[in-house]
Amino acid sequence: MKKKEIVDFISNLSLLTISGVILLFPTFNLTDIKLTLTIIFGFYALIKLSCFMLILKEKDYENLFTGIISIGCLIAIYNLKLSTKNIALILLIWLTLMALIKLKKADFYHDRANKMWILRIFILFVFITIGLISSLNLMYEKSVQILIIGFFFFINNLLDTIDPLVSYLMRGNK
């Protein structure tokens, strides 16, 4: 595996683990939505910006933009009253900006005649669908909101973990 694939794989597995831990919060009566969103976006910002620094020579700005968007969401969490409407709004804005980043990444692969763009478009479609469904289902109590947010980020990180793995396997077959 290339250094970039290893860094992406490990960072996505780390975020997948954090999302899995978030899913356990309601079991231990941790239903503070502000804390949950701070943990998620804080780790996203930290890990994605660290990944960008580790693979700076690759000229892949997806991690940088993801880190910046996550920092913006952290700022929004602390500047807005966290009502259900505002939580859904933050997630929808994050979803929209992330979809644009993923679309740009798929376009990058398409310009280079790499077949990965097909997978990236599929991942983008699933990401948008799951994100919209999750944002629309935030009208329940706090523990259910945490589960929905946890599942959204778990599925997102699972989809992102597939990308470096498939890239490695496709290159290995040639």
Residue 69 to residue 65: CA distance in whole angstroms = 6
Q: Under DSSP, is residue 12 helix (H, G, I), strand (E, B) or coil?
A: helix
Q: Are 74 and 38 in contact (CB under 8 A)?
A: yes
Q: How far is CA 164 from CA 18, 70, 71, 157, 168, in A?
A: 19, 21, 24, 12, 6
Q: How far is residue 36's CA from residue 53's CA, in Å, rounded to a whole number? A: 26
Question: One-letter amino acid identity for 65?
Answer: F
Instruction: Report the pLDDT value the prediction gives residue 11, as an integer from 0 to 100.
Output: 92
| Tens-level pLDDT at each residue, the chain (174 residues) | 688 888 889 999 999 999 999 999 998 988 888 999 999 999 999 999 999 999 888 777 888 999 999 999 999 999 988 888 888 899 999 999 998 988 887 776 665 666 777 788 888 899 899 988 888 888 788 888 888 899 999 999 998 888 888 878 877 755
**pTM for this structure?**
0.85
Query: What pLDDT, on a 0 to 100 scale, did the predictor assign at position 79?
Result: 92
Chain position carrying tokens 């780390």: 14
Q: Which two tokens stand for residue 51?
A: 């990944």
pLDDT score, position 52: 92
Range(s) of the domain holding residue 49: 3-173
- Number of domains observed in the structure of the chain: 1
**Paired tokens of 124:** 């983008």
DSSP 89-100: HHHHHHHHHHHH
Count of Cβ atoms closer than 10 Å to residue 102 Cβ: 22
